[in-house]
Amino acid sequence: MASTQLISKNSIDLTPEGGINVYEVVWNLLKEDRQLLYDLFEALRSIERQRAERPAKKNEEPRIDTGRLEDLLDRILAVEPRLQPLDPESIVESLLKVERNPPDPLPCHFQAMLLDRAPDGVTLRNHDKVSLILSFLDVDSLLSLSLTSKSCHYAVVVHMNKELYHLPFNREPVCTNLNSWKNVIDFFFNSAGRIVPIDRLSYPPLFKQMNAVKSLFPISSDSILSHTYVTFDSIKPHLIVYCDHDKPMSHTCSSSKALDWDNKATTKLISCSEFIMEYMQRLEVRDDQFVWGFGSDSISPKFICFLLKCYLDSIVRCLSKHEGEIEFRKTEFIANAKHSIVHRIWIQLSLKWDFRFGPQPQNSLYLTIADHFKLDV
């Protein structure tokens, strides 16, 4: 961590000085006085933020204000006189060790009373009360609460799963896996919100190409065409070069449509959170009460993304228990001529399970978000 750079690289000896173990004394003090511990976290975060800031002049060393850490050190010396004769650097080294391995959080009465689970280890004893309390929180408060502890995270996930259960795509009978998957995609990508293209004019990888075209030709709004297309067809990543620009599907890909060699496309695996961030960048909410079945005042992009994240996390847990495979992928392709630019981004998700008869899965589901852009002047 950056906090380890506060002192010299030479490790300071923390063996007892005059019968005092510095680290043990500091640990016990911060364990008893949690305000000192919280102030330590805040002081070190302040120093890390200052280190991350760029200096006003190039090659200039950043100026670090250690005032908060010095004030904390003075308060510790005032509370614990035994540390006053010691070298301040040894105390700071002990503080850094405590920050890297802090004491366990104090017991929370909210967790002890409300978040207790039944003997099955799954059901919350006060599930109805917890859901009622959490239903009054906005999405930012829910996210903050879910990060406080494992018990709170579990309670928030249970609450969000209950919200998912009452959404429209769960009201229809499930006939097949594909039918259920189609209903989910239709809800998150059509009914609850629609997917719109990202703004290429502010997209960093296209800055150089866009400026080159602007220097040669005037760019009008009619010359810029962008759209998104969502499909649950299985499309290999390299087909981004050979696909139909308007509706990319596997059976319409052809070498005659190739804009360049397929090695010009870049593809990488991404995490579920990165997949959600790509979805959020393109999400435009439809706050229709008839779609949600309840008042849509609290509906926001964050709320929809949180719902989708919880849904995908449930699938990940289910597939991991049955030795399935889940893959999130981002593929990007840029074809640039003097008078035109073609830019395509695919955000893909594949689910595969049931490998009883060999390496090929017996069941699979796919999703591709195609974000296509074309500039032709």
Cα–Cα distance measured from residue 200 to residue 206, given in angstroms and rounded to the nearest whole number: 7
Q: Answer yes or no: is pLDDT of 4 > 70.
A: no
Asked if the model's pLDDT at residue 160 lies above 70, the reply is: yes
pLDDT of residue 348: 96
Collapsed DSSP state (helix, strand, coil) of residue 225 = strand
What is d(CA 76, CA 179) in angstroms, rounded to the nearest whole number?
Answer: 63
Which residues pair with residue 341 across a beta bridge? 336, 375
Query: Once rounded to an integer, what is the mean pLDDT over residues 319-345?
Result: 87
pTM for the full model? 0.71
6 confidence band (pLDDT: 50, 70, 90): very low
Q: Which residues contact 28 (CB under 8 A, 6 or more apart)?
A: none
Break the chain into its structural domains and give their ranges: 22-50+64-100, 109-166, 177-376
Of residues 195 and 360, the one with the higher pLDDT is 195
Do residues 282 and 196 lie in contact, with contact meaning Cβ atoms separated by under 8 Å? yes
Residue with tokens 């810029």: 224
The least confident of 106-110, 147-151, 230-234 is 106-110
Is residue 90 within 8 Å of 65, Cβ to Cβ?
no
pLDDT at 278: 95
Give me the amino acid identity at 373: F
Instruction: List Cα–Cα distances, 296 to 189, 245, 293, in angstroms.
Output: 17, 35, 8
The residues, ordered by sequence, that sit 6+ positions from 229 with a Cβ below 8 Å of its Cβ are 246, 247, 248, 369, 370, 372
> Is residue 14 over pLDDT 70?
no
Q: Give the rounded distance of the alpha carbon of 23 from its chain centre.
A: 36
- At 253-291, the pLDDT tens digits run 888 877 766 567 899 999 999 999 999 999 998 766 556
Instruction: Check pLDDT > 90 for residue 195.
Output: yes
Residues with Cβ < 8 Å from 52, sequence gap 6 or more? none
